[in-house]
A and B are shown apart, each in its own frame.
Chain A
């Protein structure tokens, strides 16, 4: 599996940040401008940094034609993976009820898939264009694969993974305590156990942390929280790979 960092479109400093913290793969968050020229420029900028653009997120339109055009543009730009999972809620929706007063949100606001009409048609176009589509939950029945929030795997992640009906393309590191967001190391899900199960399932996709809780004095994007998450995930992966 490859640890990846979700970066904002156009924020080159985040590419350097990713590289410094030992990440080789990034997923760019693209909110608008799903055209060939823009996506090609994005890919070039990432690659000139020395990183791999492993995918783009979050294709959220409900318009089939718009989605098809975006997928074709991504394919023409040489982008191999699109996630259709919704981004995080804005920070002002969060409450300071996390560990140490960290800003957290409730579980129901995360990891929703916006399913365009005609998902099957989109998958068909994606296959022609050489692009994989990652959805959450039942949307993957339309084809493509899963962008899977890891807190959904329960206490027996190996069994849960074996029961999935679609391949996991993105493993989304996320944790919660009850219904509330938690730091990756501190929630109901034991991520070392989950990542060990992924390794044993020979998972070769992306391990991508969801946006972290809001930490004191952190940037809007959450540099401190993301650094903590990357260090945590790196240690787990190194340890289970040496096991």
Chain B
């Protein structure tokens, strides 16, 4: 299991990452104006990280504007799918092995950045009751891009779960064979927050059955999950450790997020990893037991006093925490 942080190309941040003892980074990739992840840019970025002693093997995420028409079943989706396939071929040529994508038609949902954590630390929070009172304000990414912002947008019609599933399966049936040829694994990130629908639009990767269904819909060694511990841990009645053993045991965890929430839908906080509801010792033991050898990225983190825009202090705590779990379980003979 390779611990990683999200990174761009800022030298000081990359040095910080190396100093924490990490050898892997996770990074996004911007599409070229034609909607394709350009081969020369992927190769350049891969080399940039390599020159600094870091491995980049996961793209997080496929930019949603590369496939928003597919998610909504709109005209033009086949052209988008062809470009996604071209992007996957480019990833294979550049030696980048995992493409995480999400199928959240309205993006992520949060209601607060609440200073109610220990010592006044700020915890990202989701409260369904509050969300239903002011739904548009909960769309995590609304207004974060160019105007008019095409994705995510406030929905103009209702979409039920089977329509959303049909669009996802249509997508996977076309990209997974290409991923197999290219040697790239495609990893579905679950819906965060995992509520069944929002503003009349279904969210489908919200429970155990949904995670299994996306795997089974297009059986392939290259079709699997981006196992976000935080999101999965907030699914109603979910046992995250059991889920690691179940999906990891099928070798369907291609990429993982390390995060510990407190609570499950309809209300949860993202807290420090040592104080959440998931037994992180058992979770790391489970990853070891299923021989998970992929990248695990430290995910969202609480806001700590005086931190910078990368939240280095908060992330450093979490990297140290995960390293401590791994080394101690190793010492005890359990990882």
Partner of B274, one of A13, A101, A238: A238
Partner of A196, one of B118, B120, B280, B331: B331
Shortest CB-to-CB span from B321 to chain A, Å, is: 4
Q: Which of A213, A218, A225, A228 gathers most chain B CB within 10 Å? A: A228
A235 touches B323 (CB 8 A): yes
What chain B residues lie within 8 Å of A125 (beta carbons)? Answer: none
Cross-chain contact B274 with A234 (CB below 8 angstroms): yes
A98 within 8 A of partner (CB): yes
Q: Give every chain B residue within 8 A of A184 (Cβ-Cβ).
A: 320
| Interface check B131, CB cutoff 8 A | no
Q: Which of A207-229 contact B (CB under 8 A)?
A: 213, 215-219, 223-225, 227-229
A20 touches B121 (CB 8 A): yes
Q: A99-B18, A190-B331, A217-B308 are in contact. Are A232 and B121 (CB under 8 A)?
A: no
CA distance A99 to B43 in the complex (A): 27
Asked if A227 meets B316 with Cβ closer than 8 Å, knowing A99-B21, A216-B16, the reply is yes
| A185-B327 contact in complex given A213-B19, A217-B16, C-beta closer than 8 Å | yes
Residue of B nearest to A185 (CB): B323
List of A residues within 8 angstroms of B329 by Cβ = 239
* A residues less than 8 Å from B330 (CB atoms): 192
Contact indicator A217/B327 (Cβ below 8 Å): no
Q: Are B324 and A231 neighbours in the complex by a CB distance under 8 Å?
A: yes
Q: Which residue of B lies closest to A230 (CB)?
A: B317
Interface size on B, residues (CB 8 A): 44
Interface check A240, CB cutoff 8 A: yes
> From residue A24, how far is it (CB to closest CB) to chain B in Å?
10
Query: Would you call A236 and B118 a contact (CB within 8 A)?
Result: no
Would you give the 0/1 interface string for A13-39, flagging 1 where the beta carbon is closer than 8 Å to chain B? Answer: 100111111100000000000000000
Whole-angstrom distance between the Cβ of A52 and the nearest chain B Cβ? 14
- Chain B residues lying within 8 Å of A233, measured Cβ to Cβ, are 320, 324
B304 partner residues in chain A, CB cutoff 8 A: 17, 20-21, 227
B250 sits at the interface (CB 8 A): no
Chain A residues with CB below 8 A from B318, complex form? 231
B174 contacts partner chain A, Cβ-Cβ < 8 Å: no
Instruction: Tell me the residues in window 86-110 of chain A with beta carbons closer than 8 Å to chain B beta carbons.
Output: 98-102
Query: A230-B320, A235-B321, A235-B324 in contact; A21/B272 too (CB < 8 A)?
Result: yes
Q: Are A228 and B20 in contact (CB under 8 A)?
A: yes
Q: Is the CB of B319 within 8 A of A231?
A: yes
Bound state CA distance, A183 and B319, in angstroms?
A: 13
The reply on B313 being an interface residue by CB < 8 A is: yes
Q: Which residues of B contact A239 (CB under 8 A)?
A: 281, 324-325, 328-329, 332
Q: Write the nearest CB–CB distance from A2 to chain B, whole angstroms.
A: 14
Does A45 belong to the interface (CB within 8 Å)?
no
User: Is the CB of B305 closer than 8 A to any CB of chain A?
Assistant: yes
The answer to whether A231 and B19 have CB atoms under 8 Å apart is no
B160 on interface, CB distance cutoff 8 Å: no
CB atoms of A231 and B320 under 8 A apart:
yes
* Residues of chain A lying within 8 A (CB to CB) of residue B226: none
The yes or no answer to B306 lying at the interface (CB within 8 A) is yes
Which has the most chain B C-beta neighbours within 10 Å: A98, A184, A196, A216?
A: A216
Q: Is the CB of A192 within 8 A of B331?
A: yes
Query: What CA separation (Å) do A225 and B12 show in the bound complex?
Result: 15
* B127 touches A (CB below 8 Å): no
B16 contacts A224, C-beta separation under 8 Å: yes
Select one of B20, B21, B306, B327 contacting A17, CB under 8 A.
B306
Q: Closest CB of chain B to A215's CB: distance in Å?
A: 5
B314 — which chain A residues lie within 8 A by C-beta? 227
Closest beta carbon of chain A to B227's beta carbon, Å:
20
* Cβ-defined contact, B117 with A20, below 8 A: yes
Q: For the complex, is B112 an interface residue (Cβ under 8 Å from A)?
A: no
User: Is there an interface contact between A20 and B118, defined as CB atoms closer than 8 Å?
Assistant: yes
Q: Whole-angstrom distance from the CB of B118 to the nearest CB of chain A? A: 6
Check A48 for interface membership: any CB of B closer than 8 A.
Answer: no
* Interface residue? B181 (CB, 8 A): no
A22-B275, A185-B21, A234-B274 known; A227-B328 Cβ under 8 A: no
Q: In the bound complex, how far is the Cα of B330 from the Cα of A234, in angstroms?
A: 16
A242 nearest CB neighbor, chain B only: B281
Residues of B within 8 A of A16 (CB): 119-120, 305
Interface residues of A in 117-168 (CB under 8 A from B): none
Docked Cα-Cα span, A63 to B325, in Å, equals 45
Query: Which B92-118 residues have C-beta < 8 A from chain A?
Result: 117-118
Chain A residues at the B interface, C-beta cutoff of 8 Å? 13, 16-22, 98-102, 183-186, 190-193, 196, 213, 215-219, 223-225, 227-236, 238-240, 242-243
- Provide a sorted-by-A list of 13 A–B residue pairs whose CB atoms are within 8 angstroms: A98-B19, A99-B21, A196-B332, A216-B12, A216-B19, A217-B12, A231-B318, A231-B321, A233-B320, A234-B274, A235-B274, A238-B274, A238-B280
Residues of B within 8 A of A (CB): 12-13, 15-21, 117-121, 272-275, 280-281, 302, 304-306, 308, 312-314, 316-325, 327-332
Extra pairs beyond A13-B306, A217-B312, A239-B325 (15, CB < 8 Å): A20-B272, A98-B19, A100-B19, A100-B20, A185-B320, A192-B332, A213-B19, A215-B19, A217-B308, A225-B316, A231-B318, A232-B320, A235-B328, A236-B328, A242-B281
